[in-house]
């Protein structure tokens, strides 16, 4: 039987210390943002989700949001836990117009990267851009 007058001992508090690892290579080669792996995920996901779709202006915004969320989950599954992922999906109606999507970023070219993919059919176009920004 336990002694009722036993002194209370607080649980040990865990203290984390800085690792001073400021680049993804410090954690291993698998943590470096690899454009070709992300590009293949984008290509496969766009082909699977957009094949046979027709443009619908009422559902386009919701569809683009769902696609961006799905892409973020699939890319996170590649093991990019130390990267902030920015996923931008542009979905529009194709009516013979010209469209150009460009971006500019200020980042560390050694540890940050991006990938993009285009899908188009008779009625719509979809441009997906993914930016992987390493954070410490």
Of 77, 73, 55, the closest CA to residue 125 belongs to 55
CA pair distance 90, 61, nearest whole angstrom: 9
DSSP 110: T
Alpha helices by DSSP H, 2-134: 35-50, 60-76
Give how far the C-alpha of residue 77 lies from the chain's centroid of Cα atoms, to the nearest Å: 9
Judge whether residue 60 has pLDDT over 80.
Answer: yes
Q: Are 135 and 82 in contact (CB under 8 A)?
A: yes
Convert the pLDDT of each residue in 104-128 to its tens digit. 888 888 888 999 999 999 999 999 9
Q: What is the chain's mean pLDDT, rounded?
A: 87
Q: What is the mean pLDDT of residues 131-136?
A: 86
Note the pLDDT of residue 4.
Answer: 64
Distance in angstroms (rounded) separating the CA atoms of residues 105 and 125: 24
What are the phi and psi torsion angles at 41 (to 5°)?
-65, -45
- Residue 117's contacts (CB-CB under 8 Å, 6 or more residues apart) are 39, 42, 43, 46, 127, 128
Among 33, 25, 14, 15, which residue's Cα sits nearest to residue 81?
A: 33
Pick the closest to residue 131 from 118, 111, 119 (CA basis): 111
């Amino acid at each position: 039987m336990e002694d009722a007058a036993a002194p209370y001992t607080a649980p040990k508090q865990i203290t984390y210390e800085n690792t001073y690892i400021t680049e993804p290579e410090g954690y291993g080669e698998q943590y470096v943002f690899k454009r070709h792996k992300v590009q293949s995920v984008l290509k496969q996901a766009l082909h699977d989700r957009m094949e046979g779709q027709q443009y619908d202006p009422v559902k386009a915004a919701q569809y683009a949001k769902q696609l961006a969320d799905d892409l973020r989950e699939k890319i996170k599954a590649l093991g990019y836990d130390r990267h902030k992922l920015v996923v931008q999906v542009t979905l529009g109606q194709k009516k013979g117009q010209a469209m150009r999507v460009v971006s500019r970023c200020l980042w560390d070219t050694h540890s940050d990267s991006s990938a993009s993919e285009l899908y188009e059919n008779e009625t719509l176009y979809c441009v997906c851009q993914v930016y992987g920004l390493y954070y410490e």
